[in-house]
Chain A
Amino acid sequence: MPLTLMEGNEAIARGAVAAGCRFFAGYPITPATTILNHMLAMLPPLGGVCIQGEDEIASIGLCLGASMAGMKVLTATSGPGISLYSEQISFAIGSEIPIVIVDIQRLGPSTGSATRGADGDVNFLRWGSSGGLPVIVLAPADVADCYRLTVHAFNLAEQYRCPVFVASNKEIAMTRETVELEHLDAPPLIERTPAAIRPHLPFQTAAGERVPGFLPIGGQTLVRQTSSTHGPDGYITTDAAEITRMLDRMKQKVEGAVARFSFVEHVPAEGADTLILAYGVTARAAGAAARMLASQGRPVALLVLKTLWPVPEAAIRRAAGDVKRVVVVEMNLGQYVHEIERVLPGRVVSFCGQMDGKLIAPETIAEAVTHG
């Protein structure tokens, strides 16, 4: 079986191109820059467009314009760039513009440490936009995930007409590792559904559907797009009932569909009274910790979340089964643990976190399980 050595960022770029992405705009920022580099090498010869924006706000704005023209678009940044994206992210949410946004998380707060990893943005990605509507966030644990989850991210963005985040981490993005390219099980591609109803109203949904069909700006049918609160016709509205219908639909189209994209890996263990729950690069140390504990005669179950938002609640409850205790491991000071406390009331939920620029070691996790 041929082996390839690849860093996570290259896998994201290659996954994006495989998913049909032909437009990228980004602004250099460690540790996301190599995605820009790879897209710049790959897209132009394919007839695509890769632009270095004058800043992050422009980079995502360019993407939103190109997406409305019908292209599959990608941008990539790190925490400081997500802050600058924020207002445009709200636009993409409220105006249902498909876009994949990669956040290569680095140690914050603020400019923090450019070359140190963390998972400090996971709640920021969910809640860092005005209006508070849901978004989809996927979290790769390794380089192979970077490729396949990026393809999934494009599918979800197209299917649900919303921003989809790939929440990676410097420790995956800039770490090279072995992948077997032939074994990357990426899903078949999904394209956005063309609007079929005439006359065309840009935000009208077909009966029983929660996602409006899409027509591109620049096609034969006139298309309106607006960041203002709008009705199905894309014009500003102050009608409370209409506003409620639109916002409920946008909430439901994402949250109501999470069962269809709840990517998790559950490793049960017979006789386990404890479940380790982790995501991102930390999931790998959590797996090592579970194996270490098993070899010491202490079986522990493991749940790795690759869909972080919306919270895959059913999958979490299923995996939790009847364990008494859940140890949530995060490369931050405690963020997603609060979701687990919410989803699993009555269980003992412990937190094992670290945010010092270093990977959490398996021994640290095993210690938290044993004595935490």
Chain B
Amino acid sequence: MDSLLNAARPPVFCPGCSHERITHTLDKAFRQMGLTGERICMVSDIGCSGLFDTFFHTHALHGLHGRALTYAAGLKLARPELTVVVTMGDGGQGIGGAHLLAACRRNLDLTLLVLNNFNFGMTGGQYSATTPPGAAVGSGFLNQLERPLDVCEVAKAAGAPYGVRCSAYRNDLPDVIQRAIEFKGFSVVDIWGICPGRFSKRNRLTPKAIEESLDRLTPADGPVAANQRREFGEHYRELAAAQRVVPPPLAVTPRFAPVSAARQEVLLLGSAGQRILTAGELLCLAGLHAGLKATQKNDYDITVLRGPSISEMILSPEEIDYAGIDRPSVLVALGPEGVARRKKAFESLDEQSIVLQAAGVDVPACRARLHRVDLKAQGIKSTDWALASLGVLAKLGQVIRPEMLKAAIEARLKGEALASALKLVGGVEPGEWV
């Protein structure tokens, strides 16, 4: 097999840099595997490890510091047949730490080569995530304060199914890299090397010293038994294929006359859990069945099980431009939190407006006509009050009529929910004007 090294762009590392050794080693691994350039994408980011993509006759993507794994994941998901090899430095393990963890947890078939030389070579030898606290580096005393990261231990804890920690001077490194690439899943090879330009100028570091340091650690030399599982992409495609195709959106053909030729604004004021938003949608769908244009704006707190739940609807025979509600024609008070949040809306009501009040929910004094219905006394649960209130409006001929509401419910709900909703709105006693 021919070399995949780019003859026009030979490596440009400092003399003695272990990155150069790894460049040739990786080429040897590719050759051993019989891979051709178009079957490989080298993905790199910033730093001296980021020069790797230029030395190979392969597809290449060179991006932002620490983000190489993000591009690699997108490439691999889009082209599962591609061999994707990522080179990052020890710096990338810090800035891109979240992506390392995600790659380990995800187990997409990528190979990450960490070119670990214990410092930021390119920017002046500052300390990185793997710098020993005793090293003299370009960050003053700061590295004395932090504990270096063991890439393989972190990867293992995060679920990586394959991890190797080794020296750049290991004789069988091409085989080590080949096995990592051939592993079907996410593989990490943490390769310890020497940065002669920066690190070993101030710190005594030799291949022998690297070996001795490695020997003191729990070895990481291949598959992690506890983390073996299916490769993400293959599993994804299997689950994806079993998903149902989303049906086209519900389309309503108008078949009733609207209640009014005027723009109607309705405010549903309730509490979380009262299914206010669903009721709002049903009111709009009822309007659509009468050929009306509709808008629905919702307002609720981030705590979806507590606090106010408000839905604002406009039904109009004309196109609705401004979708805000300033003077509702109908205001439905179903829960104290919603009423409290929109206290001001009551001030704007006039004699033409209606307030539909669920008994037990206090409303501020206002000029609107008040209609009260005791839903609790009818044995209706609070979760059904919003829907029941639509039944009341329909029976009163306010904004919607019973046949519009029935059509909306039939279009939106199915099975048990449909039957119980129809029963609820058909059976609700409408209460009385106060």
Contacts and interface: CB of A to CB of B under 8 A. Distances in A.
A51 B58 CA distance: 27
Contacts of A87: 64
A361 B326 contact: yes
A218 B321 contact: no
B245 A45 contact: yes
A226 B71 contact: no
Interface stretch (B14-22, B147-155, B247-255): B247-255
A53 B54 CA distance: 28
Interface stretch (A62-70, A156-164, A204-212, A249-257): A62-70
A178 B288 contact: yes
Contacts of B67: 57-58, 61, 88
A298 B102 CA distance: 60
A41 interface: yes
B223 interface: no
| Size category, B interface | 35 or more
B76 to A, nearest CB: 8
A178 B296 CA distance: 9
A14 interface: yes
B74 A62 contact: yes
A368 interface: no
Contacts of B326: 361
Contact of A224 (B53, B101, B320, B321): B53
A187 interface: no
A174 interface: yes
The DSSP consensus for interface residues of chain B is: mixed
Nearest to B296: A176
A174 B246 contact: no
A222 B284 contact: no
B323 A54 contact: no
Interface stretch (B121-129, B165-173, B298-306, B392-400): B298-306
A341 interface: no
Nearest to A65: B74
A235 B296 contact: no
B291 A3 contact: yes
Interface residues of A, number: 77
A178 B294 contact: yes
Task: Determine which residue in A46, A68, A217, A288 has the highest number of CB atoms from chain B within 10 A of its CB, and name it.
Answer: A217
Interface string B247-276: 011111110000000000000000000000
B63 interface: yes
Task: Determine which residue in A69, A178, A234 has the highest number of CB atoms from chain B within 10 A of its CB, and name it.
Answer: A178
A38 B58 CA distance: 36
Contacts of B334: none
Nearest to B244: A45
A14 B296 contact: no
A48 B237 CA distance: 9
Interface in B44-61: 53-54, 57-61
A68 B71 contact: yes
B324 interface: yes
Nearest to A172: B323
B415 to A, nearest CB: 20
Contact of A49 (B236, B244, B248): B236
B294 A66 contact: no
A44 interface: yes
Interface in A334-365: 358-359, 361-362
A68 B295 CA distance: 39
7 contacts: A4-B249, A44-B236, A61-B63, A61-B64, A218-B78, A224-B53, A227-B63
